[in-house]
Structure 1
């Protein structure tokens, strides 16, 4: 009996299982970036400050205009086949109370996008305190100076959509 195909199959399963556990924990690199984009249909970026993010609105990593310019440690995770996005940043001296953000619980709860990021806390639904608008509606939760915002791609009514 030829056991070679069984050994190859077992080795392949072992490698795939190891990769499934290891890939999410590896630092960003061309291999993990390709897997995230092709398999999970997601991509992410990190910027030291909000001014380091691209200014072009056509860029997927351009920040909404309601994010203060002095925000730091900005992280963005987005869906490559849609408009869902998660953004986390740390507030500077400028508070999050611009004219594009309404205080109080938003009238419509957007579902948190099904994106995967280690820096995103489990559930923020009970902490949603405001809704901010740019091209899309964002739900926003604030924990101390750390701000978490997400959109499922719902267009902002302020844009006439």
Structure 2
């Protein structure tokens, strides 16, 4: 009887260890998995939109993917990754004709961006992170926004903007 218990415990520990080791790799490529798996196992989800106009609006039932007002409506190739059990978010888009207008640092608190993004994705450049870009805190959450050519990268680690 002790041998069976030991085997079951060893199997459970082995499964846990494999899951612990593989989860970071899966999180980088979570756009290939069903939403239920992403939501409940990885706690992250990705959606893409051809333009910002195609992204959900407040009240559409897709609140996690509502874009901040400072994202131009004609922005194209929009990708959003959200934390389903928190408030962290990555946003990537390409600028079109409307220029990016950021409100600035008002409402930001010191230390909100002492680290890079807590989320990661295979489409997120490694050199966008610590200290890059401008703070944008005109809405509920604080964002850091970096522009590289026509491509814009923004992230929030879920820190609330101060009003």
User: Which is worse superposed, 132-141 or 44-53?
Assistant: 132-141
Inter-CA distance 72–155: structure 2 relative to 1 (3 Å threshold): same
Aligned to 1:40: 42
Aligned to 1:76: 80
**1:156 Cα deviation from its structure 2 partner:** 1.4
Within a 5 Å distance, the mapping from 1:36-115 to structure 2 comes to 36-56=38-58, 59-98=63-102, 100-101=103-104, 108=111, 110=113, 111-115=115-119
SS at match of 1:37: helix
**Out of 146, 152, 157, which is 1:141 matched to?**
146
SS at match of 2:133: strand
Aligned to 1:116: 120
Stretches of 4+ aligned residues off by more than 6 angstroms: none
| Higher strand content, 1 or 2 | 1
Unaligned runs of 5+ in 2: 1-6
Name the Cα RMSD after superposition. Answer: 3.0
Contact 2:29-2:121 at 8 Å conserved across structures: no
Inter-CA distance 84–131: structure 2 relative to 1 (3 Å threshold): same
Unaligned runs of 5+ in 1: none
**1:137 Cα deviation from its structure 2 partner:** 1.0
Q: Give the TM-score of the pair, scaled to structure 2.
A: 0.71
SS at match of 1:128: coil
User: Which is worse superposed, 73-82 or 109-118?
Assistant: 109-118
**Out of 134, 148, 159, which is 1:154 matched to?**
159
**Out of 112, 131, 140, which is 2:135 matched to?**
131
Aligned length: 139
